[in-house]
């Protein structure tokens, strides 16, 4: 990756990480086009289990744009997308997805089996082993590990607060 692109990715990932601090779970996402943030969202899945940051972002963007395609957009998410979010990214035709912490890294911090299951499914989605989306998948670019330690720190702090409150 070119240095200039890495600097751009770090800048926008920091914004996604900042967004992750606003939700009830530590996940945030932003949608960028032409190096400008167009939409932001954070996890708000307390009563709606589908209200993950990426899905909320895609819903807001497509509703405001008035069409279901996000071609030309890059989605930055504080952590690697779960299967539901990854599928939404595919169906929305997002050109590029950039994530901070990987699911494997989150497993190590959270020690949750659900995340492990998601890791296997997401890997299959992105490698094409589970689904074949043809030309749609061919346009995707996936970049991971951008500011992963910063994203993990937010997750670890959230996890500690949950444990302190007896909600782990």
Catalytic residue among 54, 80, 129, 150: 54
Contact 139, 93 (CB under 8 A): yes
59: left (phi over 0), alpha (psi -120 to 50) or beta: alpha
- Our answer to whether residue 36 is catalytic in this structure is no
**CA dist., res. 68 & res. 61, Å (int):** 9
CA of 61: how far to CAs of 23, 71, 90, in Å?
Answer: 18, 12, 15
* DSSP string covering 100-111: EE-HHHHHHHH-
Give catalytic residues, as residue numbers: 54
């Amino acid at each position: 990756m070119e240095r200039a692109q890495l600097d751009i990715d770090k800048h926008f990932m920091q914004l996604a990480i900042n967004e992750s601090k606003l939700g009830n779970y530590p996940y945030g996402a932003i949608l960028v086009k032409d190096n400008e943030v167009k939409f932001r969202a954070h996890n708000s899945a307390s009563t709606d289990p589908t209200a993950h940051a990426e899905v909320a972002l895609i819903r807001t963007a497509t509703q405001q744009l008035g069409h279901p395609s996000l071609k030309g957009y890059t989605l930055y998410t504080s952590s690697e997308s779960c299967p539901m979010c990854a599928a939404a990214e595919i169906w929305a035709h997002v050109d590029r997805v950039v994530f901070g912490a990987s699911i494997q890294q989150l497993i190590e911090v959270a020690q949750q089996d659900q995340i492990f299951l998601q890791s296997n499914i997401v890997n299959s989605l992105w490698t094409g082993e589970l689904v074949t989306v043809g030309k749609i998948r061919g346009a995707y670019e996936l970049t991971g590990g951008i500011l992963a330690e910063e994203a993990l720190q937010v997750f670890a702090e959230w996890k500690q607060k949950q444990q302190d409150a007896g909600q782990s």
